[in-house]
Amino acid sequence: MTGTTAIDLARTLESGQFFRWRRRDDGFLIVTHGRAFVADDDLRVRGATRAFADRFFGPDLTEIHQTLERDPLLRPFLVEGLRILRQDPWECLVSFVTSCASNIPRIARNLDSLCASLGEPLPFDARAMPHPRALRDEKLLRRLGFGFRARHLVPLAREVERGALDGLDRLSTDEARVRLVSLPGVGVKVADCVLLFAYARFEAFPIDVHVRRAMTGLCFGGRPAGDRRIREEAARRWGAHAGVAQQHLYVRARSG
């Protein structure tokens, strides 16, 4: 038993939760947790242990999927094989601060530039996400194309260096969110992405423009609803699995 049943790797990587991957002839190059490895559609892995890859791929969601299917409103939005990856918290934090008012190709490009410029070399010609102490120069980040996002990244890195993420995994989701939101450049949406994609808090429900549109159409008859009501509705419908539902909604809302 590998723990990697029922995963569509391509669909999962393309779902906008993780940006440090690239297609190759022989599979996908994945850079995470300071390492680089290659995985193919059959989940054969090179450059990492089975256990490392499986942990990154996240837990099997078959049971959660079956639970979500019972919601007739959500059922048409569900896609097969979509996982919630388990990312490195710092790497995930940088990624979603960078995602602010951006788009997936640009986010990936920004992060690649950052890693090429400041990251340690890895196998497969990859570069790691730089350590927080390496993010010292806002002007460099602006030259790399981060725009106004550069403003927060240096102070954010300093806070992380001082231990802002230490022990976060032992806090409740609400407590962890409070701490994340206190960091520079981190609002509720970015915090929820980090909680969902790095800490496997499946109750976290990031609301971006696509999910907001999908939810107002789905649950509020197309009438505008505040994020507070959307969050309450998601919690009421899907509870501890709201974040998983969110990722399906996001994928479908973007692909049409």
Partner DNA sequence: GACCAGGCATCGA
Partner DNA sequence: TCGATGCATGGT
Cα 168 from chain centroid? 17
| Candidate segments 40-48, 86-94, 102-110, 232-240, binder of DNA by CB under 7 A | 102-110
Give residues with Cβ within 8 angstroms of 178, minimum separation 6.
none
End-to-end CA distance of the chain: 35
Given the complex with DNA, which of 55 and 189 has the nearer CB atom?
Answer: 189
Size of the site for DNA (CB under 7 A): 43
Single residue of 3, 59, 81, 147 touching DNA by CB under 7 A: 147
Considering the candidates 11, 22, 109, 189, report the single residue annotated as catalytic.
Answer: 189
| Candidate segments 1-9, 63-71, 97-105, 121-129, binder of DNA by CB under 7 A | 97-105
Provide the Cα torsion 206, 182, 139, 131; round to 10°: -80
Single residue of 2, 5, 62, 103 touching DNA by CB under 7 A: 103
Count of beta carbons in the 10 Å neighbourhood of residue 233? 18
Residue whose C-alpha is closest to residue 32's, from 109, 90, 118, 96: 90
| Candidate segments 59-67, 72-80, 98-106, 116-124, binder of DNA by CB under 7 A | 98-106
| Three-state SS at 87 | coil
Q: Residue 61 phi/psi, 5° resolution?
A: -110, 15
Q: Does 16 bind DNA (CB under 7 A)?
A: yes
Q: Does 148 bind DNA (CB under 7 A)?
A: yes
Residue whose C-alpha is closest to residue 210's, from 19, 79, 16, 75: 16
Please list every residue from 170 through 229 that binds DNA, using CB under 7 A. Answer: 181, 183-191, 193, 206-211, 226, 228
Instruction: Report, in Å, the least distance between residue 171 CB and DNA.
Output: 18
Single residue of 9, 12, 13, 15 touching DNA by CB under 7 A: 15
189 has catalytic annotation: yes
- Which tokens is 239 given? 């509870």
**Across-strand partners of 121?**
127
Residues at the site binding DNA, with contacts judged by CB under 7 A: 15-17, 96-97, 99-106, 142, 145, 147-148, 150-152, 181, 183-191, 193, 206-211, 226, 228, 246-247, 250, 254
Q: Which residue numbers are catalytic?
A: 189
